[in-house]
């Protein structure tokens, strides 16, 4: 990524409409609702771990056929890739360009919207690269739109909002 930012503006993800932070959700009243909330979060984290381990087979199992992935650096342009094959090929190219071991340190995972078959998960991540030493590569906010199919939460779309280029 070559886009350079002069600075990382406060609240940029909200300003560009990447995030829509909601008030606290009500307490789940059924085991199914609680399980859905937890498994939707797990799908988001599983993507990050699969990326770090370069497990495209796991990412393939996490996405729907018409998936879309997008990324932006701060308030820069939104770049979008659509379709399972295109997204997997793009991720493979990005992974091949990185000689270090990446580790997504995922935190602040929120389920912002949840219905019986749709969910939106937002999570922050600090991405560390490890070669000779561990160094912070960038920080990011991921927004995952999920759909429940065959009792699994799958990624319908993902947006990676990078605070700085990597």
pLDDT in tens, 148-162: 999 999 999 999 999
The pLDDT score that the predictor gives to residue 2 is: 43
d(CA 127, CA 45): 13
- Please compute the mean of the pLDDT values over residues 139-143 and round it to a whole number: 96
Which among 55, 151, 61 has a CA at the least distance from the CA of 104?
55
Of 13-27, 63-77, 112-126, which gets the smallest average pLDDT? 13-27
Sheet holding 63-73, edge to edge: 79-82, 63-73, 152-162, 134-149, 118-130, 101-114
Domain 12-162 belongs to what topology? Answer: Nuclear Transport Factor 2; Chain: A, (3.10.450)
Per-domain boundaries in the chain: 12-162
Q: pLDDT by residue (tens digit) across 96-132?
A: 999 999 999 999 999 999 999 999 999 999 999 999 9
Question: For the chain, what percent of residues have pLDDT higher than 70?
Answer: 96
For residues 38 and 36, give the distance between their C-alpha atoms in angstroms, rounded to a whole number.
5
Query: Which pLDDT belongs to residue 6?
Result: 59
DSSP characters over 7-51: ---TTHHHHTTS----PPPPPP-SHHHHHHHHHHHHHHHHHHHHH
**Structural tokens at position 145:** 């739109």
């Amino acid at each position: 990524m070559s886009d350079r930012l002069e600075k990382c503006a406060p609240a940029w993800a909200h300003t560009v409409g990447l995030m829509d932070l909601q008030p606290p959700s009500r307490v789940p009243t059924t085991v199914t609702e609680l399980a859905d909330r937890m498994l939707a979060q797990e799908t988001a984290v599983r993507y990050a771990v699969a990326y770090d381990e370069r497990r495209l087979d796991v990412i393939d199992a996490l996405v729907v056929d018409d998936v879309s992935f997008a990324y932006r650096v701060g308030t820069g342009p939104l770049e979008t890739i659509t379709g399972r094959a295109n997204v997997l090929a793009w991720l493979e190219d990005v992974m091949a360009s990185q000689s270090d071991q990446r580790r997504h340190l995922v935190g602040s995972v929120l389920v912002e919207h949840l219905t019986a078959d749709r969910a939106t998960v937002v999570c922050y991540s600090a991405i560390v690269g490890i070669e000779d030493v561990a160094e912070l590569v960038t920080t990011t906010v991921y927004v995952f739109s999920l759909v429940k199919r065959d009792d699994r939460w799958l990624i319908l779309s993902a947006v990676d909002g990078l605070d700085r280029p990597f």
